[in-house]
Chains A and B, each alone.
Chain A
Amino acid sequence: MASATATKRSGTGKAKGKRKIRVMVGKPGLDGHDRGAKIIARALRDAGVEVIYTGLHQTPEMIVNAAVQEDVDAIGLSILSGAHNYLFPKVVELLKKKKMGRIVVFGGGIIPDDDIPGLRKKGVDRVFTPGTPLAEIVEYVHRRVRPRA
């Protein structure tokens, strides 16, 4: 495992001294499928993003508290158990309560197409489904998420 590249690889064309994008990759709920989350975490790190991975079995409260503490710019959530309709919006709702609505929330996993409009309506910025190329997710993060000055 190539460790600690996150702090070394800041050169993604951004001005020197500027803060890097900080993304929290979160696994809410009880499901243990973390292959996708870990691959996304590595891909973002390799693309110069600072990544904080929560580990498994987090409650929405745990994720939001950690996100605030780590001062992240975005949260990427992964769920493969079918509990996304409850857990994704819950994270958005808790962020709003903490007046942290600026944090972009996106997600992925086994999510039927029919559920996506409802999730977007509840404030999930983007939902990625299986088979999405990593480059597309990395590009999305760089385009959509701005590091706080």
Chain B
Amino acid sequence: MKKYTVINTPVPNIDGIAKITGRAEYAFDIKLPNMLHGKILRSLYPHAKILNIDTKKAEGLTGVKAVVTGKDTLGVKQGIWRRFKELCDEEILARNKVRYIGEPVAAVAAVDEDTAEEALDLIEVEYEPLPGVFEPLEAIKEGAPQLHEHAERNINVTRHIEWGDVDEGFKGADHIREDWFRCSSQHHVCLETHNAVASFTPDGKLTVWTSTQSHYYIQVLLSWVLGLRENDVRVISRYTGGGFGSKFELDSAQFCSSLLSMKLFRPVKIVLTREEEFMATKRRTPMFYYLRSGVKKDGSFVAKEARVFTEGGAYTSMGATALYLTGFFQSFPYVWPSYRYDGYRVYTNTAPSSAMRGFGAPQATFTAETQIDLIANDLGIDPIAIRRKNAMYPGYEVPGQAKIQSCGLSQCLDKIEEWIKSRGKLAPNRGIGIAAYGFMSGGIFNWFDTPYAFSSASIKINIDGKVDLYVGSQDMGQGSNTTMAMICAEELGVRVEDIRIHMGDTDNCPVDLGAWGSRETLMQGNAVKMAAAEAKRQIIEFAAAKLSPNIVYDLDIKDRWVHLIGRPERGLSYFDVVKEAIRGKDGQPIIARGHYTPHRKGMISPAYSFGVQAVEADVDPDTGKITLKNCVTAHDCGQVINPLGVEGQLEGAMAMAAGYGFTEDLPMDEGKILNPNLVDYKVLRATEMPETKVMAVETYEPEGPFGAKEAGEGLTNPTAGALGNAVFHATGLSIKNLPITPEKVLEALREKNNKKRRARRA
């Protein structure tokens, strides 16, 4: 019999019919009887005291049902790092002070959106503007305007990581390079903007339909800020129109609609506009990066020092995690005998920066991989060779941080090297750049302070063999429901169509921390596998009486066939056995549970994905325009569960990460985002996509379900670096300031030509 019948077969996402026929019901589509519509009034100032808010006129407008301000709240300073009080610093409706343009100060519920919008204009807020500070390197200076009383010099969080003797390491280096980089911000641009429909009923129960990556987090955070019992809050999120890191913190739509509904006992719906989405739903963390690296003549790495100042924006949000992860992944995916990282997250009067796909690692990978190519160039070493020389390997321990179990990095390098060779000699102004990367498969840290298992799943098998699988994970398009159905089907020995998945409802689904940090395949996957194994054990017990194995472990189920492992032709139909089993259990369905919490697996993650990406691009020397030609990725995600899913994740991540590399940016003037719309904010379009190719390098990850690990988020890490290196190899220019726009390329070209001219004159 084949080893696997489901794993590693291409399965289209199981919610496909709903999505291609327009039937999928997002929170955005929910319409309840007697529902009102809400709008949120946001600060126009980057930094100001709120002296008074007068809502009388707004309340008097026909059609307005309620207005709420900070005074109507419990005044809770909330945050997702619940374990650390000083990092919970954000009031959802500001009471005394606003700290960024777009911060919510009031909300209105009215009979329709137009009326609510009109009412916003009638709310009179008296502000006392305060001096603002917008750049981390300014904000950290003595005497800069201070955002929060508790944070001197606006330092929000600091992080230090160190191993080996760095200073001694540098002494032994033959070559030392220092570089400064600026990593820009990026917006998630989920097609479904943040929204919520909240319905509070006289029995004290609140139901919130919303677009989220973690229904559990939202349940807990809402109950906290509203003063409700955790399980009197029900969060439902059946479909999520994109997340990418923007949808697992409490957002203004969820909070304001709940507050209004609690006042009115009527459902209230709030949908953020695209402009609000840009202004006030968090974004990728901009970073100033200093790197100093010491290497031997032959390219061996000896010492590295990294210092980072991040533009935190007004509140902590998930930025503290990004600060740690960027420091950790700065060393990736290499063996650095000594390494020192100091990170500072600095408050600024800008929209809070937080989690976005890659979570600090794309910044780390861009800076590290750019510098490695510069070092290779300094020493006259091939970019592949220098990476191979220092690559992480199975069994390597990152001192004090992590143990690498599976690692296919060197196979990935081989595949990419082969592909580059196949390209032959490149046309002028064309270059191929590479970047190597790694990423985690879910975080070990528990700053949210949950007492639950990190992931849980339960299974109920019905009389016709149909399996109800209850998961806590959240499918937001990445396909985790399909992955979970496949893992369940494989382990239990049935087919994907035998599984009916239940997701996105705190009333019915077990707790899982949600879809972020590449958690689902490994963590939720392990919980599902455990539940499926337990259900299978119950079925096999009943089959044993008929099949008479020496011991029950001699039996297995594959593709709906319960059989003797040694003699697979001797068996029984899964369906018949299930029927018998349920009869034998007093008529009760078969029920099983599974859970997963990582333990004794280091500081960061139980497993790491690896890969190498090559980007081939043209640079037009007259306009500075970059055109992507090819993007080839060799990726080690352990055992591939769903090749169709991996391909989709890879191409999607590449498009998003290429945007980060050369088209997407959030320029600001005194804290005001200048391009909060989809015309001026340039995401990649179909016409800009290069040819893409995925080469899976299969390894077996002992900690993952069937040997699987992360395959979605880490793919966002390499592209900006590979793209930058392609520009470097095409033109000799290394741009250290993201995004690599035509203007920057032209400016660098001009400078290079001037230098040449000056040299000729001299």
Partners in one complex: no
Taking beta carbons and an 8 Å cutoff, which residues of A are in contact with B? Answer: none
